[in-house]
Each structure stands twice: as structure tokens, then as C-alpha cells.
A and B are shown apart, each in its own frame.
Chain A
Amino acid sequence: MPAVSKGDGMRGLAVFISDIRNCKSKEAEIKRINKELANIRSKFKGDKALDGYSKKKYVCKLLFIFLLGHDIDFGHMEAVNLLSSNKYTEKQIGYLFISVLVNSNSELIRLINNAIKNDLSSRNPTFMCLALHCIANVGSREMAEAFAGEIPRILVAGDTMDSVKQSAALCLLRLYKTSPDLVLMGEWTSRVVHLLNDQHMGVVTAAISLITCLSQKNPDEFKTCVSLAVSRLSRIVSSASTDLQDYTYYFVPAPWLSCKLLRLLQCYPPPEDGAVKGRLVECLETILNKAQEPPKSKKVQHSNAKNAILFEAISLIIHYDSEPNLLVRACNQLGQFLQHRETNLRYLALESMCTLASSEFSHEAVKTHIETVINALKTERDVSVRQRAADLLYAMCDRSNAKQIVAEMLSYLETADYSIREEMVLKVAILAEKYAVDYSWYVDTILNLIRIAGDYVSEEVWYRVIQIVINRDDVQGYAAKTVFEALQAPACHENMVKVGGYILGEFGNLIAGDPRSSPLVQFNLLHSKFHLCSVPTRALLLSAYIKFINLFPETKSTIQEVLRSDSQIRNSDVELQQRAVEYLKLSSIASTDVLATVLEEMPPFPERESSILAKLKKKKGPGAVSVNELEEGKREGELNGGGERGDNSGISASNASTPSPSADLLGLRTVPPVSAAAPSAGSLLVDVFSEAGVNDDGFLRDMEPPTESSDSLLAEGSGDSDSAPPSAVSEDPAPPLPESNELLNKFVCKNNGVLFENQLLQIGIKSEYRQNLGRMYLFYGNKTSVQFVTFTTTVTCPGELQSQLNVQTKIVEPLIEGGAQVQQVINIECLTDFLDAPLLNIKFRYGGALQNLTLKLPVTINKFFQPTEMASHDFFQRWKQLSQPQQEAQKIFKANHAMDTEVLKAKLLGLGMALLENVDPNPENFVCAGVIQTKAQQVGSLLRLEPNAQAQMYRLTLRSSKDTVSQRLCELLAEQF
């Protein structure tokens, strides 16, 4: 039976709803609905014209059916017809149907707009409100086009009814959100702001939402709202609980409006006018005071409304971050809430304290609550509250309490909910790194993480521990000892095996003196885990084994035997098989020296932001994805992982076949930043025989967070710096310094060094190239004791270069403190061969004076050389093939430097080509071969340098498959010797 049927009941509708409710099964319901749809369709199509009532009833039934979750594909026209009915309820149903069912690109929108236009001009406030509600509900662009001009007029007109004003304000807000370009306040601005003074509280409540949104976008135009908002707030806060009549809610005067006023003020800095500010501080103090007063009602609504205002006030206090007294009071108030019996309040207090923890004024005050927060982490029954507690612990952590907090988080992790474990792991890892005084504590913490929550330890975490161990020799012995012990456990997490394999492979020698961890014991321990591991881990272990052969010659025969076994050398997995074959070969043919070079200890990693931090930011970042999407991402990650398994381990097979002396052998240093698709197993095979070690940079590549995402993070993070003060930006970049060509030449044969130095600034450079990709680290050092402000750098590719190089820069911090250094990463992709160098423009203010200088970025075509080894016969055959006159470029020039063979060799190696021995019949001459890798094509190049010691002259000849390349290389090189 239908319950109350208020207003004009539609009996047919009630019967239909009852029928649906009585359906015993989903099938029965669908049957009943289909019957009804057929009936309505026939009514709408029938010859007999329907009266308004029937039309209304059927449209309402369709609406009901739609809201049940079924699709509706007719009835729209009938609904539109209802809009022009004179009968209010018919009009009302028509508007409701359209609000719910019509999407913005409907063809009917023109008809609807017509009906709305009529109602807006009807001067009947009820009709006007209906029309405004419809616009606010649909909010389409077409509606904005039709009405964005009219509504502001309605909003500020003197004769508009209050209720219409309220609808108009929020209607405009909705249109502004969908089409900000169409809503122009212009001349109305000040009258809209003055709605804050309106006598009708409802009008103020509606208008303030609009004003807040507009203020966020155009703070300057609306800044007069600040003093109006403060006086309105002050009047509300000081009013007695009954003054505001129906706007008082459970003894709290106008809680919604108060919250909105406080929110509006958060769009602005503290008021400059002393009187306004004083009044505001008074309000905030009153709000804080009221929190201490006994409640006027026991109802939860009373305390919620009161505390809603309190929390909003605290947000404002935190936003200002300038009133230590208020900040500390806020903190104390939140401290009380931490132990409140209302779960909601505990949750909000934890959340709000998180932001207080980052203020220098209240950080210490927040820290005093550590025990309560730890207790919350342990005892709260609601996971979302525990999550907040974990967040707060993370936020309040500093050097003084890091050990305690990390220990508590670790112990919580053992019982933590699955949903938050990964994030907890990241946080523990970050805190452990950030506040590590001694790194053995850090290593212990991470190994504990793997032990406790191995499944949730993402790659970033275990990569990071390896990076740190490699970079800090004081902890390497300890790390080796600790992983060795951890691996003793019968059941080890695979991540532990990875870390163990890597660290013992690098530093097992540091504990080999102890007979309990002798080389063979270490190897057997690792190998006992081998068969339990996945392919990527096995690949990593194989690399560790070959490193063992180098570290401990006595293990060679044992390991060779393992490599030789069918399960390795004939493994069905291509990557494993390849490694086994190549490592076996390497260990048997390479001399000890070569082996020692190839398998040398990892060089230190360049210092950079922890990839874990980037990951956490990503998780927390705006627009954070839902758990579902995260899981999808994870699955995807696994799939990728499967595809690029070769990349997971330290040493690449291809190094073994061509140890090219200029590349860092273990590929640890290079990261192709804009790296293309991961190499497939197939391409790995090919690469063994080519010079290009596609996968020899794999390990580090995995260590890097995905480039795209870190980019976007950065972009978001430093959005402000992007729009740095116009004064600096508007200055044209200076022309390149006269010496910039010379500076460029300095870097033709080397990748690292000081690019530029004057009295203020030093620019260091470190770069790495692989294939057609390069990454450059620029280090800007402030040599003075005064900070550089509005520091901006821009890299441009003049002219043609734009289509030849793809250069991406990350934004640098706009501020460099005196004596400090900031780093900038530049990713370079060579699309096709090029002549010019990109320009680097640097602008900053030093003591008010604008510094503006432009340099050439030392990116030259030879950076993209891949060395090619070849025998004498091949060399001359190719030389002959490149015999067309334009393919050759030659220069004879006087030596600028001493003609020292070793120096020459080093330079030629630095050039990036392979220096071929025993090729040229004249041993005094040098010949080189290489392939320039660009995205568009590969350009093979050969070089011959003939020194004439007597005349102190050189003859330099270059032959390339492309004439411009020969020319350019010749020019570049002629300056080098």
C-alpha cells in the first residue's frame, strides 16, 4: 500500500510502484516494466491526444523506471511538452524528467531552452525558480550560452524575490563551473560581492558559494569581499543563539553560513587592514572559546554544527600560519578531540593535526600527542581512523622521534589492514631513509619491512636500499652481514632474495673472511633459494653468480657447473638461457683483468629524490586513483615485468660480448629517460651481437619511477614557479655568450664537467647518452651568500633544431639559497641529425638585479654514437663504400695541443666511436667507427686521424652515409686536437 500520498497523487503511478515492489523476482520486475513501457509507448503514439494529466503520469512512470536502473529511449518529447503547460505540477514533472534524464548534448536542448526562457521572463517567481533549478541541474554549455548573460541581471536586480536570487546565484555557479568563459561578471562584480550584506540570510548563504568560487579564480577582483565577510562572520559569531531565528540550528547560529564565510576567507591571505584583522582574530578566538563552553544541547547535531565551525576556523588558522598563539590553541583543542568518544571527532582531529604538524609554530605542540596517536594506531577499531593516525605519525616524525615512530609503524604493519599496507611500507621506508643517522638502522628497517610485509614492498623500496648501500661504503659490510643472516631463514620473501643476491654479489667479499660466511657458503645459501624464485629473480641471481666468480675465483668451478647444467643452459626461458650461456662463456674466456673490469663494483648512483617519495606522492596526489585502479595498475605492472624481465637485474649479457670502454659497464648510470617500449626478449637476443646494449641499463631504469608520472608530479608541484614573476619572464633572453661556442667545444669529447662559471654562478654538467636518448643533469650552484630568486631556466631549440631534437626540461626551484646548489634534469631525444646546439637561458635576480645569460647546451651529434667494433678488412671495405665525394669531409689543421698518443686516444674514446686497433697499416694513425643513432635513421660513420708529429699537423677524414654528418663531425673535431 502506498504510504502518504501528498499533493496531487497519481493513483496510476502508485499502483505501478506497488506492482513493481510486489514482484518476486528480477524477471517478473522486468516483465512488468516492459508491459508498462509498451503501454506508455502506445499511448504516446496513439491517435487520441493525451491530456496533460495523463502525459504527466506517464512521464513520471518513465522517470521511475529510469531511476530503477532501466534504460529509457522515449518520452523526452512529451516531457518537453509538459514544460509549456500552465499547470504547475505538469511543468514540475517535465522539469524533473529533464533534470534527471536529459544529457547536455541532447537535440532537444533548443526546445528546452525556449521553455526555460519563457518561464524566466514570466515574472512568476515559482516558475522562475523551476527554470533556474533546471539550468542548475543540467548545467550544459548550450544553457550557459543561452542564459549566462541573463542570470547575473536577475541575481542583482532590485525587484527580484529573495528565493529567485538564491536560485540564480547557485545556477550561475553551476554554469561558471561548466563554462567559465561564458560567465562574465564584469560590471556586476561589486553588486554580487555586496550580496554578502544582504538582509536575507538565505540569499547570503547561496551567494557566498558563488563568491567563493569566483574569488578562487579572480582573487583580485573580488578582494573587497574579505572585509564584508569578516564583519558578517563577526555579527554571527557574537549573536545570541536565538537571534537568527530559523537560521539557528540546534542552538548554533547559522553554522552553514559561518563555515562558508571561513572558507571564503581561506581564498585570501590575512587581511592587511589592522582593524579587519583584529576583528577576525577576535572571531577566531571566540570560536575557540566556545569550544570550551559546556554544550547547550546533548544532541549530536549541536556538537557537530559547533565543531564544523571550529574545524573550519582551525583550517583558516592553519591557512594563515602566522598566529603562533592561535595555532597552539588549535593544536590543544584538537588534542582534546583525540580522546573524544565520538569516532568522527577523533578522525577529524587526526586529519587536521596532520596539517598543523607541518607548521613551524605548531610542530612541537603536535609532537606532544605522540603517545595518544600511537595508541590510536593500535586500538582504533575503524581502519580509516587508524589510517589517519598513521598519516599523522608520518607527518609529526622528525629526527627526535623517528626511531620510535618507525618502530611503532613496523609493529603495526604486522596486523595492518591489507588495504593500507603498501602505503605504510612506503612511509616507513621514507622515514627510515630521511632520518637515518646511522645507515645500519636503515638497512635493518628495510629488511624488517621485507620480512614483515614482503608482498607489499614495491620495487622502489628494495631498489632504494640497494642504491643507498652502494653509495655508502660505511654500511656495505653491515648490509652484507645482515642480508646473509636474513637469508638463513628457511622461508624468505623473494624480495629478500633479490636484495640478498644483489648485495652479496657486490659486497659478499666483505664478510667472506668469516668461515661461517665463506664464499661457497654464501653461494650455496643463495642457490638454495634459486628454484623457488620467479624468472626475474633468477636472472638477478645468475648475475650475482658471475660476480661471485670475479670476487671469489675459488667458486668458479662450482658456479660454472651450475651454469652448465641443463636447467640453466637449456632453460626454456630465453633470458635465463642467454645469461647462463653468456656468463659461462665470459667466465671461461675472459682474462681475470677483463673479468674484473666487466664485473667491477657498481659505481655510486647520482643523488636524486627518492623514487619512493615520488611513488608516495603519486599515490596521494590530486586525482588519486581508486583502490581498484591501483590494483589494475599493479596487475599491469606485473605483466610488463614479465615482458622485460631482462631489465630486472644488474648485469647485462650484452656487456659481455662488447665491453665498450666508454660506457659504464654495468649500465648503472644510464637511463634512457624517454625510453621507448621495453625491449622484448627477441630484441635482447639480437642485441647480444650488436653494439647497442639495449638492456644494459635495465637495472637503473627499473629503479626510476616511470618517467611520465614523475614528470607530471613535478609539473604539478612547481606549477607556481612556472608562472614566475612576469618581470623576469618578460625580459628577452640574452644572446648567447661570446664564449659559448668555446664552452660547447669543451664538451665534445667529455660528458661531465663545469660548463660555466662566473662570480655568482657555477653550472656543472653530467650527462649520459644511450642510443638516441640522453639525459643531462645540470647543477646550478650559487657561489654567493645571497639567495637567487625567481630563478628560471629555459631550453630552446632555435630554428631547424626544433624538429631535430626533442628536449624536455624539468622545472627547477625558483629559489637558490646562498651557497646552495639545485639540480635540473634535461631529457634529450635525437630525432634526426643536427648541427646547432640547444640554447640554455638562465634568469634570476641577485640582490634585485636581473641576471640574464644564454649558453649553448653541449649536445652535439657525436653524443649519439654507438661504437662499432670491426676488423681491418671490414673497415676498409666500408670506407670504400662511402666513397662519394659529398660523403667525405676532410680537414688539415695545426695541432693545438701536445700530440700525446694517450691523450688522443682518450679524446677519441670520449667522442663515442670505437677506436679500432690494428686496422690502419700505419700504427701512428687512428681509425674509429660508430653509428649515430637518431630516431629517424642510423648514420654509420668512419674516422681517420693522421698525425704528423714533425709538422705538428693533423689530417682528419670523416666518411658518413650522410654528408651533413661528415661535415659537422669534422668541424667539431678539428677543434679538439
Chain B
Amino acid sequence: MQFMLLFSRQGKLRLQKWYVPLSDVQKKKISREVIQMVLARKPKMCSFLEWRDLKIVYKRYASLYFCCAVEDQENELITLEIIHRYVELLDKYFGSVCELDIIFNFEKAYYILDEFILGGEAQETSKKNVLKAIEQADMLQEEAETPRSVLEEIGLT
């Protein structure tokens, strides 16, 4: 897999993961192009698109589009299920996940993705094992820190 993008129906990018080295300018250009292309698709159309020398595999879940770019010889259907498994992982972790969860806890969305896919290849496809790894990490967090005032939190003090 070369990259994965999550974006909203309005075309707002919610998560981007790149597995090939690209400059920021290229990344922006590619995201724009792919988002535009996928948003133009109608429901019931097939989930695969040829784009440059890659294949775009996408699926919409509620307000979010999940979209992967894979090499030409990759298996489209299994990529579609990669997306689904990721959605399941998010869902299980956040408890019926919605777009807002991913916006406010974007770092968690990245951690989960890294446990599931690494370097563009599936690392661990068992839902249990991925979640176990994430939960272990969550356990490692330090004891609750001293509560801070709201003002301090937003950086006004």
C-alpha cells in the first residue's frame, strides 16, 4: 500500500498515512486529486479506480471516506477488507466510532493504524491482538496528573 487517506464528505482530510517518501507538496497535490476523484463517484459505483499507475480502493462509512492507494498487482478485495478491519478496530476502541472521535483523538487513530498496518503491509490482522496492544499502551500511561485550571490548559496563563 502506498498511502491511506480518511476524509469527510466535504473533502476535509481527517487522517493521512504515507508509506512512500513524498514531499509535502506532492502529498497535498495527491490528496487533493484523489479526494476530488473519489467524491465525484456516485453510490453503487465500483470501489476501485485506476489512478496513475496505482489502484485506488475506497469505501464510505457514514460521513467518512476511507481510501487506499495500492500497487497495480495488489488484490482489490482484500484491500477493501483492510479498510473494513480498520473501521472495526476504531469502532471497538472508541465504541461505535464517529468522525468526531477521529478528529479529537487523531493520535489514537494513528496508533491503531500503526499496530494494524506497518510500512504499507498488514502487520497483525487479528482484532483482538491489535486492541490488546493498544490497551497495554493505554495502561502504561502515568497516574493521573494534577488537575490544571482551564485557563492554564488553553495557554492563557
In contact, A305 and B52 (Cβ under 8 angstroms): no
In contact, A170 and B123 (Cβ under 8 angstroms): yes
Q: How far is the CA of A12 from the CA of B19 in the complex (A)?
A: 31
User: Cβ of A623: which chain B residues have Cβ within 8 Å of it?
Assistant: 53
User: Cβ of A136: which chain B residues have Cβ within 8 Å of it?
Assistant: 118-119
Closest to A252 in B: B81
Kindly identify, within residues 79 to 120 of chain B, every residue whose CB is under 8 Å from any CB belonging to chain A. Answer: 80-82, 84-85, 93-95, 98, 100-101, 103-108, 110-111, 114, 118-120
Closest to A209 in B: B121
A624 within 8 Å of B (CB atoms)? yes
In contact, A60 and B145 (Cβ under 8 angstroms): no
Chain B interface: which of A187-195, A200-208, A579-587, A646-654?
Answer: A200-208
In contact, A305 and B81 (Cβ under 8 angstroms): yes
User: Cβ of A385: which chain B residues have Cβ within 8 Å of it?
Assistant: 46
B62 within 8 Å of A (CB atoms)? no
- Chain B proximity of A579: nearest CB distance (Å): 43
Interface residues contributed by chain A, number (CB under 8 Å): 90
In contact, A206 and B124 (Cβ under 8 angstroms): yes
- A252-270: CB near B (< 8 Å → 1, else 0) gives 0011110100010000000
Q: How far is the CA of A382 from the CA of B110 in the complex (A)?
A: 33
User: Cβ of A100: which chain B residues have Cβ within 8 Å of it?
Assistant: 110
Contact A256 to B122, CB < 8 A, known contacts A88-B140, A382-B46: yes
- A764-794: CB near B (< 8 Å → 1, else 0) gives 0000000000000000000000000000000
User: Cβ of A87: which chain B residues have Cβ within 8 Å of it?
Assistant: 141-142
Partner of B125, one of A36, A174, A256: A256
User: Cβ of B44: which chain A residues have Cβ within 8 Å of it?
Assistant: 343, 381-382
User: Cβ of B42: which chain A residues have Cβ within 8 Å of it?
Assistant: 381-382
In contact, A3 and B125 (Cβ under 8 angstroms): no
In contact, A7 and B141 (Cβ under 8 angstroms): yes
Partner of B48, one of A53, A167, A257, A344: A344
User: Cβ of B104: which chain A residues have Cβ within 8 Å of it?
Assistant: 2-5, 14, 17
User: Cβ of A201: which chain B residues have Cβ within 8 Å of it?
Assistant: 125-126
In contact, B110 and A96 (Cβ under 8 angstroms): yes
Name which of B75, B76, B110 has the most chain A CB atoms within 10 A of its CB: B75
Contact A255 to B141, CB < 8 A, known contacts A63-B107, A624-B53: no
Contact A5 to B155, CB < 8 A, known contacts A166-B124, A249-B125, A255-B81: no
A108 within 8 Å of B (CB atoms)? no
Q: Main SS of chain A's interface residues?
A: helix
B39 within 8 Å of A (CB atoms)? no
User: Cβ of B108: which chain A residues have Cβ within 8 Å of it?
Assistant: 6-7
Q: How far is the CA of A21 from the CA of B65 in the complex (A)?
A: 19
User: Cβ of B142: which chain A residues have Cβ within 8 Å of it?
Assistant: 8, 87-89
Q: How far is the CA of A384 from the CA of B114 in the complex (A)?
A: 32
In contact, B125 and A202 (Cβ under 8 angstroms): yes
Kindly identify, within residues 1 to 43 of chain B, every residue whose CB is under 8 Å from any CB belonging to chain A. Answer: 13, 15-16, 19, 21, 23-24, 28, 33, 42
B64 within 8 Å of A (CB atoms)? no
In contact, A15 and B106 (Cβ under 8 angstroms): no
Q: How far is the CA of A14 from the CA of B106 in the complex (A)?
A: 11
Kindly identify, within residues 567 to 600 of chain A, every residue whose CB is under 8 Å from any CB belonging to chain B. Answer: none
- B128-149: CB near A (< 8 Å → 1, else 0) gives 1100010011101110110010
Q: How far is the CA of A60 from the CA of B153 in the complex (A)?
A: 13
Q: How far is the CA of A205 from the CA of B137 in the complex (A)?
A: 22
Q: How far is the CA of A87 from the CA of B144 in the complex (A)?
A: 12
User: Cβ of B124: which chain A residues have Cβ within 8 Å of it?
Assistant: 163, 166, 202, 205-206
User: Cβ of B111: which chain A residues have Cβ within 8 Å of it?
Assistant: 92, 96
A622 within 8 Å of B (CB atoms)? yes
- Chain B proximity of A303: nearest CB distance (Å): 9
User: Cβ of B100: which chain A residues have Cβ within 8 Å of it?
Assistant: 2-3
Q: How far is the CA of A4 from the CA of B28 in the complex (A)?
A: 29
A552 within 8 Å of B (CB atoms)? no
Q: How far is the CA of A132 from the CA of B123 in the complex (A)?
A: 12
User: Cβ of A346: which chain B residues have Cβ within 8 Å of it?
Assistant: 46
- Chain B proximity of A385: nearest CB distance (Å): 6
User: Cβ of A99: which chain B residues have Cβ within 8 Å of it?
Assistant: 110
In contact, A625 and B52 (Cβ under 8 angstroms): yes
A171 within 8 Å of B (CB atoms)? yes
Contact A5 to B105, CB < 8 A, known contacts A202-B125, A625-B52: yes
User: Cβ of B136: which chain A residues have Cβ within 8 Å of it?
Assistant: 126
User: Cβ of B122: which chain A residues have Cβ within 8 Å of it?
Assistant: 205-206, 209, 256
In contact, B28 and A301 (Cβ under 8 angstroms): no
User: Cβ of A344: which chain B residues have Cβ within 8 Å of it?
Assistant: 46-48, 76-77, 80
In contact, B140 and A256 (Cβ under 8 angstroms): no
- Chain B proximity of A255: nearest CB distance (Å): 6
In contact, B81 and A308 (Cβ under 8 angstroms): yes
- Chain B proximity of A201: nearest CB distance (Å): 7
User: Cβ of A69: which chain B residues have Cβ within 8 Å of it?
Assistant: 13, 28
In contact, B125 and A15 (Cβ under 8 angstroms): no
User: Cβ of B61: which chain A residues have Cβ within 8 Å of it?
Assistant: none
User: Cβ of A17: which chain B residues have Cβ within 8 Å of it?
Assistant: 103-104
Contact A67 to B106, CB < 8 A, known contacts A205-B123, A206-B124: yes
- A1-45: CB near B (< 8 Å → 1, else 0) gives 011111110011011110001000000000000001001100100
- Chain A proximity of B126: nearest CB distance (Å): 4
Q: How far is the CA of A245 from the CA of B127 in the complex (A)?
A: 11
User: Cβ of B46: which chain A residues have Cβ within 8 Å of it?
Assistant: 343-344, 346-347, 382, 384-385
- Chain A proximity of B20: nearest CB distance (Å): 8
Name which of B28, B142, B155 has the most chain A CB atoms within 10 A of its CB: B155
A900 within 8 Å of B (CB atoms)? no
Partner of B75, one of A6, A15, A312: A312
In contact, B50 and A384 (Cβ under 8 angstroms): yes
Contact A202 to B47, CB < 8 A, known contacts A104-B21, A301-B81, A348-B77: no
In contact, A3 and B21 (Cβ under 8 angstroms): no
- Chain A proximity of B76: nearest CB distance (Å): 6
User: Cβ of B153: which chain A residues have Cβ within 8 Å of it?
Assistant: 11-12, 15
In contact, A43 and B53 (Cβ under 8 angstroms): no
- Chain A proximity of B114: nearest CB distance (Å): 5
User: Cβ of A11: which chain B residues have Cβ within 8 Å of it?
Assistant: 148, 150, 153
- Chain B proximity of A406: nearest CB distance (Å): 24
- Chain A proximity of B124: nearest CB distance (Å): 5
- Chain A proximity of B59: nearest CB distance (Å): 10
Closest to B147 in A: A11
User: Cβ of B154: which chain A residues have Cβ within 8 Å of it?
Assistant: 12, 15-16
A865 within 8 Å of B (CB atoms)? no
Partner of A93, one of B77, B107, B121: B107
Q: How far is the CA of A53 from the CA of B145 in the complex (A)?
A: 9
User: Cβ of A171: which chain B residues have Cβ within 8 Å of it?
Assistant: 118-119
- Chain A proximity of B22: nearest CB distance (Å): 10
Closest to A210 in B: B121
A199 within 8 Å of B (CB atoms)? no
- A896-923: CB near B (< 8 Å → 1, else 0) gives 0000000000000000000000000000
In contact, A4 and B123 (Cβ under 8 angstroms): no
Kindly identify, within residues 108 to 145 of chain A, every residue whose CB is under 8 Å from any CB belonging to chain B. Answer: 126, 129, 132-133, 136-137, 139-140
Q: How far is the CA of A177 from the CA of B2 in the complex (A)?
A: 12
Q: How far is the CA of A666 from the CA of B126 in the complex (A)?
A: 72
User: Cβ of B13: which chain A residues have Cβ within 8 Å of it?
Assistant: 67, 69
A311 within 8 Å of B (CB atoms)? yes
Contacts A89-B140, A256-B122 aside, 10 further interface pairs with beta carbons under 8 A come to A8-B144, A15-B153, A16-B154, A89-B142, A126-B137, A133-B118, A137-B114, A249-B81, A301-B81, A626-B51
User: 9 closest Cβ contacts across the A-B interface?
Assistant: A308-B77, A174-B119, A209-B121, A88-B140, A308-B78, A12-B153, A246-B126, A170-B118, A343-B46
A-B contacts, 30 listed (Cβ < 8 Å) = A6-B94, A8-B142, A11-B150, A15-B153, A17-B104, A39-B155, A40-B155, A67-B15, A103-B23, A126-B136, A126-B137, A136-B119, A139-B21, A166-B124, A170-B123, A173-B121, A202-B123, A202-B126, A205-B122, A206-B118, A255-B78, A256-B125, A304-B80, A304-B84, A311-B76, A311-B77, A348-B48, A381-B45, A382-B45, A382-B46
